[in-house]
């Protein structure tokens, strides 16, 4: 499975299992171009939250947190773990923790996408800190992971889909 296929499968899984009232999927105001196709193809309206500030060429932390707070509870949100494509801007650990407080309180479902783990900090573990931290204390997390770049297999497509659930019953459903 490719990373792109993992994203497609993940969104289809969410369309099938999320309440029918969840019709929107949110992602950052700058994103990988294929997100524009993958999300609607799965049956979600693609909506955006502030993330990148073109003036400072950095994270729009205030806008990011405000938008996480203002969207409906239990929203589906696609974020990148690190090496945000195309901006290259990643939240600091403290900024991630601020976002995670809102995410948990509002019970958002976070769908992480990662294709460049190990490229930002030259250490795989560090680049997956956001995923590991949130998934370590929260169960509404999914990850689509591409290994094509990490393994240097640009002509091949290698990826996986991972899902954190809250119970054995929920695992069977998913």
Instruction: Single out the residue of 108, 128, 101 nearest to residue 116, CA to CA.
Output: 128
Question: How confident is the model over 10-39, as a mean pLDDT?
Answer: 89
Position 124 scores a pLDDT of: 59
Residue-wise pLDDT for 140-174, tens only, equals 999 887 665 665 666 666 677 888 877 777 777 66
Number of domains in the chain: 1
Judge whether 172 lies within some domain.
Answer: no
Task: Assess if residue 171 is contained within a domain.
Answer: no
Q: Is residue 92 part of a domain?
A: yes
Q: List, for residues 24-38, the tens digit of each pLDDT value.
A: 999 999 887 788 899
* Order of strands across the sheet that contains 109-114: 45-49, 24-28, 76-80, 109-114, 141-146, 159-164
In-domain check, residue 108: yes
Q: What is the pLDDT of residue 148?
A: 58
**104 pLDDT higher than 70:** yes
CA distance 163 to 72: 22
Tell me what percent of the residues of the chain surpass a pLDDT of 90: 51
Query: Residue 7's closest CA among 162, 156, 148, 172?
Result: 162
- pLDDT score of 105: 97
For 107, the token pair is: 């019970």
CATH of the domain at 46: 3.40.640.10
Per-residue pLDDT at 121 exceeds 60: no
Flag whether 35 is in a domain. Answer: yes
Examine residue 170 and state whether it is found in any structural domain, yes or no: no
Q: Tens digits of per-residue pLDDT, 47-88?
A: 999 999 999 999 999 999 999 999 999 999 999 887 667 788
pTM for this predicted structure: 0.87
For residue 169, tell me if it sits in a domain.
Answer: no
The domain containing residue 68 runs over which residues? 3-164
In-domain check, residue 145: yes
């Amino acid at each position: 499975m490719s990373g792109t296929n993992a994203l497609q499968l993940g969104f289809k899984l969410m369309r099938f299992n999320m309440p029918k009232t969840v019709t929107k999927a949110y992602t950052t105001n700058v994103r990988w171009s294929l997100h524009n196709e993958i999300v609607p193809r799965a049956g979600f309206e693609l909506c955006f939250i502030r993330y990148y500030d073109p003036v400072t060429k950095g994270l729009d932390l205030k806008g990011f947190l405000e938008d996480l707070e203002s969207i409906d509870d239990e929203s589906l949100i696609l974020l990148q773990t690190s090496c945000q494509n195309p901006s290259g801007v990643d939240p600091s650990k403290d900024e991630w923790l601020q976002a995670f407080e809102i995410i948990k309180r509002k019970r958002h479902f976070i769908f992480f996408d990662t294709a460049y783990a190990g490229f930002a900090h030259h250490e795989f573990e560090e680049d997956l800190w956001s995923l590991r931290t949130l998934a370590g204390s929260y169960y509404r997390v999914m990850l689509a992971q591409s290994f094509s770049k990490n393994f240097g297999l640009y002509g091949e497509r290698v990826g996986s889909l991972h899902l954190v659930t809250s119970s054995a019953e929920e695992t069977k459903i998913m």
